[in-house]
Amino acid sequence: MQELVKVVFLGIAGVMLAIQFKSQKPEYGMYMGLAVGILVFGYALRQVAAVTAQLGKLRSYLGGAESYLAILLKVIGITYICEFSADICKDAGYQTVAGQIEVLGKLSVMFAGLPVLFAVIEQIQSFL
Considering the domain architecture, whether residues 37 and 75 belong to the same structural domain is answered as no
Residue 54, domain member (yes or no): no
Provide the residue range defining the domain that includes 91: 63-128
Considering the domain architecture, whether residues 69 and 27 belong to the same structural domain is answered as no
Backbone angles phi, psi at 25, to 5 degrees: -130, 95
- The pLDDT tens digits of the residues spanning 38-52 come to 888 888 888 877 777
Considering the domain architecture, whether residues 40 and 80 belong to the same structural domain is answered as no
Considering the domain architecture, whether residues 9 and 67 belong to the same structural domain is answered as no
What pTM was estimated for this model as a whole?
Answer: 0.65
Crossing angle for the helix pair 48-62 and 26-46, to the nearest 10 degrees: 40
CB atoms within 10 A of CB 89: 18
Nearest CA-CA partner of 54 in 67, 71, 41, 73: 73
Domain count across the chain: 2
- The pLDDT tens digits of the residues spanning 14-63 come to 888 888 877 788 788 888 888 888 888 888 888 877 777 787 777 777 77
Considering the domain architecture, whether residues 68 and 128 belong to the same structural domain is answered as yes
Going from the C-alpha of 121 to that of each of 41, 82, 124, the distances in angstroms are 37, 29, 5
Considering the domain architecture, whether residues 76 and 125 belong to the same structural domain is answered as yes
Residue 58, domain member (yes or no): no
Considering the domain architecture, whether residues 95 and 68 belong to the same structural domain is answered as yes
